[in-house]
Amino acid sequence: MKKFRVWFVAVLLAVGMGLVAPGPASADPYCGQVWGSLVKADPAMIESEVVNVRTGQHYCFDRVVIDLNGPVAGYTVRYVPQVTQDGSGFGVPVRGLAFLQVTVNSPVYDGSGNATYNPADKNELTNVGDYQTFRQLAWAGSFEGYSSLGLGVRARLPFRVFSLAGPDAGSRLVIDVAHFW
């Protein structure tokens, strides 16, 4: 018992004097992210239509999901000085200090011209009022098989883009924007 006390006191003294210290802090990127802020694109063209747009919040990022009724048909996601409408090129006002133009190579209408996605409020596709990074998600139009959204964010932050299969024969285009660098 006496040896245990001696060792215990020795360890406490070593810790107190700073002789035993924790290892150096890790220099890992925020939440392990290694994303950038440059253009992400896939030029594929496949017959599928946009059927829904939704958003979500996560610990490390905010997320936009574009639901399609077939495989993801290609996309371009990039920071722009101003979001523009498809076809006309007119500006789309979007809140935020940085703006992502999200273009998916899919229309919002089927082969007969029937709408597959018709947002109730084109200026506010979803309520992102309490999101950490997103400021506004607005509709920028659909023209000649391309559909665009404007995503206002609080700063030019890293993002990633990927697709997920399902549900059923559909797919999802996912855009995650980090909360920090």
| pLDDT tens per residue, range 151-172 | 999 999 999 999 999 889 899 9
Give me the residue spans of the domains in the chain. Answer: 36-178
| Structural domain 36-178, CATH architecture | Sandwich (2.60)
- Where in the chain does DSSP place strands (E)? 40-42, 50-57, 61-68, 75-80, 83-84, 91-92, 98-104, 134-143, 146-153, 159-165, 171-178
Which of 20-24, 149-153, 154-158, 174-178 bottoms out in mean pLDDT, i.e. has the lowest?
Answer: 20-24
pTM attached to this predicted model = 0.81
**Confidence band (pLDDT; 50, 70, 90) for 181?**
confident
Burial of 65 (0-12, 13-18, 19+ CB in 10 A): middle
> Residue 25: what pLDDT?
43
**pLDDT at residue 61 greater than cutoff 90:** yes
Give the pLDDT confidence score for residue 15 in this predicted structure: 58
| Dist. CA 87–CA 78, nearest whole Å | 18
pLDDT tier at 26 (50, 70, 90 boundaries)? very low
Instruction: Give per-residue pLDDT as tens, 111-132.
Output: 888 999 999 999 999 999 999 9
Is the model's pLDDT at 87 over the cut of 90?
Answer: no
CA dist list (Å): 52 to 1, 21, 65, 173: 70, 53, 8, 11
